[in-house]
Amino acid sequence: MITVADQSHLRGKLLFDEPMAKHTSWRVGGPADCFYVPADLADLQLFLATQSPAQPIYWLGLGSNLLVRDGGVRGTVVATSGALDDLRKLDEQRVRAEVGVACAKVARFTVTHGLAGAQFLAGIPGTVGGALAMNAGAFGGETWTIVEAVETIDRQGRVRTRTRAEFTIGYRRVEGPAHEWFVAALFHLQQGDEAEGKAHIKTLLVKRGQTQPTRMANAGSVFKNPPGDYAARLIEASGLKGLCEGKACVSELHANFIVNTGEASAADIEGLINEVRERVARAQGITLELEVRVIGEP
């Protein structure tokens, strides 16, 4: 693990025992042993090269699809939001976005530059990195349908460009070269009308506000939709809307959301997740699969 003495070569922010509750949309999570916010991609390359091969590394965007347990994270968390934030139009149909850029910002940027096809990203409350890692989707769109290529980085800090064909893409699932992480995406889009694009995004955001508990601490959809059905329908049909454990509750607005109503712990949320899964399995005969990622020690 990197030590305090090693900081002289780095330009980013290095913290120890950083409370993860400050960095997750559920507002829960114990401390990370090491927390690093790189200054830019070059700084991240240097930082990764200093890490022990045995040191676990976790990646954090907006923390919107992540449950960090109360015991915290044994390892290093690399925070990309606001750090790897370069966003630019390369030509008439392609946009490059680093992984720390918010998906909503990409949606707005593309329509402002007369491009269509990425408006659905406005409904994803995370960063490009998280969207790439899980093939995030919203309102019928999925991230990897507009990906032409990606840039990845390994533990030695080496950056590579890889095409979409080098990855196996599925519903909320992406498999690619081992021991590499995303640092940027190249999106291929179509020509579009700016006014129409902005109106479309506005419509999507209004719909999101009406159907999701956006004003309460949550992490988006908790479970993946099973084939041919919806997790929210199964949870609601099982009579679980409003079910609580401690201060964590199944949303009354959208059954596939769990909200932190006050001072919920990660244990409250994880316990409720397990209870919902068990009761849906008993009532509906379907075992729901997690969409959110769970890390850390109890």
Residue type, position 105, single letter = K
Catalytic residue among 151, 245, 270, 291: 291
Of the CA atoms within 13 Å of residue 280, those in its CB half-sphere come to 27
21 is written with which tokens?
């509750």
Phi, psi of 104 (to 5 degrees): -60, -35
Cβ contact 145:83 at 8 Å: no
Cβ contact 275:244 at 8 Å: no
Nearest Cα to Cα of residue 190 among 149, 150, 145: 145
Provide the 10 A C-beta neighbour count for residue 244: 15
Provide the 10 A C-beta neighbour count for residue 53: 7
102-104-109 Cα angle (round to 5): 95
Catalytic residue among 64, 81, 221, 238: 221
Catalytic-residue membership of 245: no
173 is written with which tokens?
């699932």
Q: How far apart are CA 298 and CA 290, in angstroms?
A: 18
Q: What is the dihedral of CA 216, 221, 222, 226, to 10 degrees?
A: 160
Catalytic-residue membership of 25: no
Nearest Cα to Cα of residue 37 among 68, 67, 81, 6: 81
Catalytic-residue membership of 221: yes
Provide the 10 A C-beta neighbour count for residue 285: 8
Catalytic residue among 94, 96, 172, 208: 172
Cβ contact 101:85 at 8 Å: yes
In the block, tokens 């925070």 appear at 79
Instruction: Give the catalytic positions in this structure.
Output: 172, 221, 291
